[in-house]
Amino acid sequence: MTHDFVHESRPGRVVFAVGAASRLAGEVERLGLRRLIVLCTPEQAELAAELTAPLGDRIAALHPHATPHVPVAVAATAVARSREIGADGCLAIGGGSSIGLAKAIAKDTGLPVVAVPTTYAGSEMTPIWGLTDGGRKTTGRDPRVLPSTVVYDPRLTLTLPTALSVTSGVNALAHAAEALYAPDGSPITALMAAESARALAAALPRVAADPHDLDARSEALYGAWLAGSVLGATTMSLHHKLCHILGGTFDLPHAETHTAVLPHVLAFNLPAAPRARAALRNAFGAGDPAAHLFRLADDLGADMSLKSLGMPADGVDTVVAQALSAPYANPRPVTEHDLRIMLGNALTGSCPTEDT
């Protein structure tokens, strides 16, 4: 077999350990940051204050106003606040909402980002930003938004509710799965994606069985780190396109939407991506990766119906129109008929079978 690929390593420092949050002050010192704006959701303000207390006067402001999908108005307020206090860096504590808000600031100001993830979102490892305006989500790539340092501490995920742990983990798994058939993948990203899928599929049932199992939490976070890394290094395909449309248009919950959609996209794409299918079969220990993933998430309590998540039945037309309006990479061509079948099955939450 001959090889033909381009692989570009992303800059950035990763600190991964149980108790790594205690090293945060040292990591901030290492970067020479003196006036940080701390980004988090309102629900995590107390945690953010606790984690940043050792940084003392290096914290210029706590800004607990992150919201899902990063609305442009929320981003503009955060950018203005960072300028008002003369911030020289952003410290994001939380999941995709908090990290996304820090990226919005970095995109406009060039400030460096330090991320402390508390979910399995993976966005902390990517140069991808996203903003929502008027029911439309726009994404792009900018090296300035890639965090300079990411501090992973599995202890911070112990309080992540079981239901969100499952959907957040499947959200990460989506990054790994699509990286396996990305047009710009490489042997390195393929190895990382396959290991990510293995780790997450093995860890999530253990996390659901015992949310305080630190070894299981560590394995899940490890898988999420790998998933985020390949998300940042490859081009995502149909699954991420659909989820961005669904989230931006109907304000559906991010991780839950990824969980409900992914099995249906895999059932459609994997027959046209034999290497990806083989890798996921091996990672899951199952002959039909799409159906296995659906049953796994369903058994662990995830809601597999987009209708239950808030998507209106007549919303399919809107999603189909948006998905067909802009080209994107995918292992096989996608028609209006294909989209209607996938979205219809995801809307009702029926278990997919591979489209052969």
Reported as a single tens digit per residue, the pLDDT across 143-198 is 999 999 999 999 999 999 999 999 999 999 999 999 999 999 999 999 999 999 99
Please report whether residue 8 resides in a domain. no
pLDDT at 1: 61
What phi and psi values does residue 215 have, to the nearest 5 degrees? Answer: -65, -45
Q: Are residues 204 and 323 in the same domain?
A: yes
Q: Are residues 270 and 326 in the same domain?
A: yes
Domain encompassing residue 140: 13-157
Rounded to the nearest 10°, the torsion over CA 214, 309, 97, 26 is 0
Query: Counting Cβ atoms within 10 Å, is residue 26 exposed (0-12), middle (13-18) or buried (19+)?
Result: exposed
Average pLDDT over residues 109-120: 97
Please report whether residue 356 resides in a domain. no
Distance CA 347, CA 356 (A): 21
pLDDT at 326: 84
Q: Are residues 229 and 124 in the same domain?
A: no
pLDDT at 12: 87
What phi and psi values does residue 268 have, to the nearest 5 degrees? Answer: -80, -45
pLDDT at 137: 84
CATH of the domain at 183: 1.20.1090.10
Last residue of a domain, one of 107, 141, 157: 157
Average pLDDT over residues 95-107: 97
β-bridge mates for residue 13, sequence order: 149
Q: Are strands 149-152 and 13-16 parallel, antiparallel or unpaired?
A: parallel
Q: Are residues 183 and 139 in the same domain?
A: no
Distance CA 127, CA 192 (A): 18
- The confidence band for 338, taking pLDDT boundaries of 50, 70 and 90, is very high
Q: Are residues 29 and 126 in the same domain?
A: yes
Q: Are residues 268 and 303 in the same domain?
A: yes
pLDDT at 105: 98
Please report whether residue 310 resides in a domain. yes
CA angle 49, 229, 21 (to 5 degrees): 25
Q: Are residues 331 and 250 in the same domain?
A: yes
Our count of domains for the chain comes to 2
Structure tokens at 73: 């108005």
Average pLDDT over residues 10-17: 88
Distance CA 64, CA 44 (A): 7
Q: Are residues 140 and 177 in the same domain?
A: no
pLDDT at 4: 77
Q: Are residues 224 and 335 in the same domain?
A: yes
CA 45 to the chain's CA centroid:
21
Q: Taking the CB of residue 104, how many other CB atoms lie within 10 A of it? A: 26
Last residue of a domain, one of 157, 179, 214: 157
Q: Are residues 126 and 179 in the same domain?
A: no
- The confidence band for 299, taking pLDDT boundaries of 50, 70 and 90, is very high
Judged against a pLDDT cut of 60, whether residue 356 lies above it is answered with: no
Average pLDDT over residues 21-34: 97
Q: Are residues 20 and 58 in the same domain?
A: yes
Last residue of a domain, one of 157, 179, 204: 157
Please report whether residue 3 resides in a domain. no
Counting residues of the chain whose pLDDT is more than 70, the rounded percentage is: 98
pLDDT at 134: 86
Q: Are residues 135 and 215 in the same domain?
A: no
Q: Work out the mean pLDDT of the chain and round it to a whole number.
A: 95
CATH of the domain at 126: 3.40.50.1970
What pTM did the predictor assign? 0.93
CA angle 237, 191, 225 (to 5 degrees): 75
